[in-house]
Amino acid sequence: MLECDRLHTYYGAAHVLFAVSLNVAPGTAACILGRNGVGKSTTLRTVMGLTPPREGSILFKGRRIDGLPAYKVARMGLGYVPEDRRVFAELSVEDNLLVAERQAEGGFGWTAERAFEVFPALQEFRTRLAGFLSGGQQQMLTIARALMGNPSMLLLDEPTEGLSPVMVKTLEEAILSLKREGLTMLVAAQDMHFAAKVADHLYVMNRGAIVYEGQRADMERDAAVIQSHLVV
Ligand SMILES: Nc1ncnc2c1ncn2[C@@H]1O[C@H](COP(=O)(O)OP(=O)(O)OP(=O)(O)O)[C@@H](O)[C@H]1O
């Protein structure tokens, strides 16, 4: 579904990504694990076309997307949930979803009702103004809103950051249910336990490079190596 080959990304003169290669197979979830500042967000932004790579290539559903603007990438069916969880605070939960409704190539036909099935907590608050939701509920809403664009793949940037353990568990279940629906996902995270729950394939980043790659089944065996890249 997504094939990134030796991506190099810069912010001005600062070289931030170094030969990042990763693949996400259709219907699977891959996780990029790493500390703050190692380049996870930049990797997702690069895939999305927000910080285009200076070198390397990106194939999405077999087509080159590096160099395309983000809106075109989104139209091809790539959804993106950035770290900052921006909701339309003055709109109700339901209206936040309805304004985002859009068809995309090869999408899954999402409606607000189906999004509420994946996030039952939002259903309870459908008429509430989104600005009054808790941080965790806003995170669910930003994911639900991204689904309304009918993506075939979602990029999620640190969806569990700052959430309570109960909310993290709810989010894990939602991600697993999205995977059962056939959605492909690439998720940036810092927590190995979260990654172990949701990821089929794991990448660990350090200083702008992929330093470890493995399947979920390898994670227990390689826990010490993975952990060594996550401590400061
Ligand atoms: N707009 C920018 N201009 C210059 N440098 C930046 C910019 N955004 C990020 N960086 C730098 O790029 C590097 C990678 O940052 P990035 O945000 O991708 O890391 P991250 O792993 O996602 O961390 P975080 O969890 O803090 O978002 C960091 O050294 C950061 O300081």
Half-sphere exposure of 214 (CA within 13 A, CB side): 17
197 C-alpha to center of ligand 1: Å?
26
Separation between Cα atoms, residue 134 and residue 138, nearest integer Å:
6
Task: For residue 3, give both structure tokens.
Answer: 């094939």
Q: What is the pLDDT of residues 74-107, one digit of tens each?
A: 989 999 999 888 899 999 999 999 988 887 666 6
Tokens of 147: 């689904």
Q: Which atom of ligand 1 is nearest to the CA of 157?
A: 22
Q: Identify the pLDDT of residue 194.
A: 93
Q: Is 155 in the pocket of ligand 1 (CB under 6 A)?
A: no
Atom number in ligand 1 closest to CA 38? 21
Share above pLDDT 70 across residues of the chain, in percent, rounded to a whole number: 98
Q: Which amino acid is at 207?
A: R
What ipTM was predicted for this assembly? 0.91
**∠ at Cα 136 (91, 188), nearest 5°?**
110
pTM value? Answer: 0.92
Per-residue pLDDT tens digits for 27-63:
999 999 999 999 999 999 999 999 999 999 999 999 9
Q: Is the pLDDT of residue 126 over 70?
A: yes
What is the span of the domain harbouring residue 193?
2-230
Domain count, the chain: 1
3-state secondary structure of 188: strand
CATH of the domain at 114: 3.40.50.300
142 Cα to the center of ligand 1, angstroms: 21
